[in-house]
Amino acid sequence: MVRTTAMRMNSEMSLTRTLKFLALVMAVLLPATHGKGLRAETGSDMQVLGDLAIDRTEVTIEQFAHFAAATGTVTKAEREGGGLVYAAGWEQKPGWTWRTPYGMPAASNEPAVHITFDEAQAYCRWAGKRLPREDEWILAAYTESRPTPSPPFENGRTYRFPTGDNPNGANCLKDCGSTPAIDRSDVLERGRGHAPAGASRKGVNGLYDMGANVWEWVDTEDRAQKGTRGGSWWYGATQMRADYDASKPRDMAVVYIGFRCVKDLR
C-alpha cells in the first residue's frame, strides 16, 4: 500500500515536471510562430511588435468587400451618394465610395477610403482586431522595434519619417521622389491620387504607407473628433512627421482617409 502510494506520488511529480517543461517550450516557441498564426487567423499580413501586431498595409478594397458582404454594411458615403474631396472647400463627389474611390472602377488592392472612423473600427472588430491608439500608431511608424531589421533600419532608433531619415519612396504630393500613384489627376484638382496598398517603399518596422498615400484613422480620446496620422497623397512630406497632429470629425468619409488595424497578442 505504501509502495503504491509512493509510486503514484512519483508519477504525479513527473507529470508536473513534464507540464512545466512543455509550458516553457511553448513560451519560447510561440513568439517565433505568432506572425504565421496571425496570418492564418486573420487572412492579412501583420507585423508583430511586442504585445501588438499591426497590419503591414492599409486595409484594401478587397478586404473591406469581404466585411461588407458578410455584415451587410452600407457605408455613409454609399447611403449619402458619395464621399468628400477638398477643393475650394469640402465637396461631395457623387459615386465616390470605397468601391469606386474616384467615381470609376478601382483595383482590389487599392486602399479602402471614404470610410468613417466608426466604419473602420467596425471592420477591425469584425476581423478580430481594432483601430490603433494614436501612441501605438506613432511608435510603430517611427521607432524601429524589430530585433534584426533589414538595412538601412536599426533596432531601437526613432526616425523622422515612416520611411526613415527622409521621405523618399512615399506617395506624397512633393518631396518624396518618384511615387507609384495611380494617376487620377484627370478627376482631381490637386495631386495624382493614392497608390495600391504596399506598392511604395517598405518603411520602419517593415510597414508600408505609414507615411503619405492616405491618412489613417487612429483612436483618440475625443469623442467627436478622431485623429488621422501619416499624411496623404494630397500633401507634401511635412504631414508625414510624428509632430504633425491632425484630426477629422469621426463621421467624415474622405477620398484620402483610410486605415489599418492592430491586434492585441496578450
CATH of the domain at 80: 3.90.1580.10
As a whole number, mean pLDDT of residues 110-132 equals: 99
Strands of 215-218's sheet in order across: 246-249, 225-229, 215-218, 257-258
Q: Provide the residue count of the chain.
A: 266
Question: How is the chain split among helix, strand and coil, in percent rounded to 5?
Answer: 30, 15, 55
Q: Is the model's pTM score more than 0.95?
A: no
Nearest to 60 by CA among 199, 161, 162, 178: 199
Give φ, ψ of 97 to 5 degrees. -135, 180
* Ranges 13-17, 59-63, 137-141, 152-156: which has the least confidence: 13-17
C-alpha 89/C-alpha 83 separation (Å) is 13
C-alpha 115/C-alpha 111 separation (Å) is 10
Whether omega before 147 lies within 30 degrees of 0, making that bond cis, reads no
Residue with cell 518624396: 176
C-alpha 196/C-alpha 217 separation (Å) is 18
Q: Which domain holds residue 8?
A: 1-42
Same domain membership, residue 259 and residue 130: yes
Return the DSSP state at 81: T
Confidence of residue 6 (pLDDT cuts 50, 70, 90): very low
Same domain membership, residue 59 and residue 29: no
Q: Which of 43-47, 85-89, 125-129 shows the highest mean pLDDT?
A: 125-129
Render pLDDT for 163-221 as a digit per residue (tens, 0 to 9): 999 999 999 999 999 888 999 999 999 999 999 999 999 999 999 999 999 999 999 99
Same domain membership, residue 200 and residue 144: yes
Q: How many other CB atoms sit within 10 Å of the CB of residue 93?
A: 20
pLDDT score for 88: 85
Same domain membership, residue 49 and residue 26: no
How many domains is the chain built from? Answer: 2
Same domain membership, residue 162 and residue 104: yes
pLDDT at position 7 over 60 = no
Q: How many other CB atoms sit within 10 Å of the CB of residue 2?
A: 6
